[in-house]
Amino acid sequence: MEIIKVFSPATIGNIGPGFDVLGLAIKGLGDVVEARKISSGIVVKANGSKWNVPLNSRENTASIAAQHVLDILGEKGGIEITLTKGLPIGSGLGSSAASAAAGAFAANYLYGNRLSKEELILPATKAEAVVSGGFFADNTAPALLGGATLTRSCEPLDVTRIGSIDALKLVIVIPDLVVLTKDARAILPKFVNLHNFVMNMANTALITAAFSKNDYGLFSRCLNDAIIEPVRSTLIRGYHTVRDKALEAGADGMAISGSGPTLFAITNSMEKAKAIQKAMVQGFKENDVHAESHITEVDREGTRLLPK
């Protein structure tokens, strides 16, 4: 029986000011699903993960997404999934979305490959919603499509590929802190003042132009969120120290990835990226927080088959 191997990248929800709208796939971090057809049912196994991966197929986003895809395709057969987590759960890097995207992709591929990646966004997003408690495509869409994506609406789903920025270096810092998505949602403001609304809208539109035009210079000016970050940053110990240090070290901006606690900073220089990485990790350390860090770039491809 054919065994396939699927990779799905980590993603940065919001890209700063674009709350619930923008998302970006990044290289290096991601989940791998090995999958094969079985006669019926969905089986999930975990491949030596240091994170606590749920092995009940109704709780794992990879298997839930795979089941949704089989339902769409009208297939009665089953699938066995072995999940290798390559990014931490609950970090704000779209961990459950990556698993969901990989599971959806694998099921579609094994059963005739009749759905486009765009058509896999809905089942993957439904699967992620079971775990995250909210129906949002700002991680599943970029995880599947690659590059930056814009979600205009979730019901009905309306997602647009925006593009990429070749010169962009991303410094990803994952502190050893827990921020529950439901806490990060509960803390959101219910109302926004008109001035901040205009400012976030302008920054998000400019980021969209930057990814559309592959223009790092535009992006470097507008990674600033006046609305959500001021409240969510209170859930991340050391946030202000780390931000100050990132900017001092030459970052053109820094923001929370998704609902956190992961932070990301941007630059177009590998030399600066290394200095920023060091400074940010040091900033957490000064607040007694251990942090893992990576320098990476945009993943343009999204979820894909890996060579066996």
Q: In terms of CB distance, is 73 or 201 closer to a second copy? A: 201
The total number of residues shown for the chain amounts to 308
Q: Which entry of 34, 61, 125, 128 is annotated as an active-site residue?
A: 128
CA 8, 25, 104, 85 torsion: positive or negative?
positive
Around Cβ 206, how many Cβ atoms within 10 Å? 16
The pairing of strands 169-175 and 263-267 is antiparallel
CA-nearest of 78, 76, 74, 82 to 66 is: 78
Q: In terms of CB distance, is 15 or 122 closer to a second copy? A: 15
Min dist CB 11 to a second copy, Å, is 17
Min dist CB 285 to a second copy, Å, is 35
181 given a catalytic annotation: yes
Distance of alpha carbon 68 from alpha carbon 122, whole angstroms: 9
Distance of alpha carbon 134 from alpha carbon 149, whole angstroms: 18
Min dist CB 48 to a second copy, Å, is 39
Q: In terms of CB distance, is 70 or 227 closer to a second copy? A: 227
Q: Footprint of a second copy on this chain (CB under 8 A)?
A: 18-22, 150-153, 158, 160, 162, 188-194, 197-209, 212-213, 218, 221-222, 227
Q: Which entry of 61, 125, 181, 208 is annotated as an active-site residue?
A: 181
61 given a catalytic annotation: no
Min dist CB 185 to a second copy, Å, is 11
With b meaning 16 or more CB within 10 Å and e meaning fewer, what string describes 112-135? eeebebeebbbbbbbbbbbbbeee
Q: In what order do the strands lie in the sheet with 263-267?
A: 253-256, 263-267, 169-175, 291-296
Q: In terms of CB distance, is 99 or 140 closer to a second copy? A: 140
Q: CB under 8 Å to 192, separation ≥6 — which residues?
A: 200, 227
Q: In terms of CB distance, is 198 or 270 closer to a second copy? A: 198
Min dist CB 253 to a second copy, Å, is 13
Min dist CB 194 to a second copy, Å, is 6
Block residue for tokens 């970029």:
142
End-to-end CA distance of the chain: 13
Q: In terms of CB distance, is 188 or 270 closer to a second copy? A: 188
CA 85, 87, 91, 92 torsion: positive or negative?
negative
Question: 3-state DSSP call for residue 291?
Answer: strand
Catalytic machinery residues: 128, 181
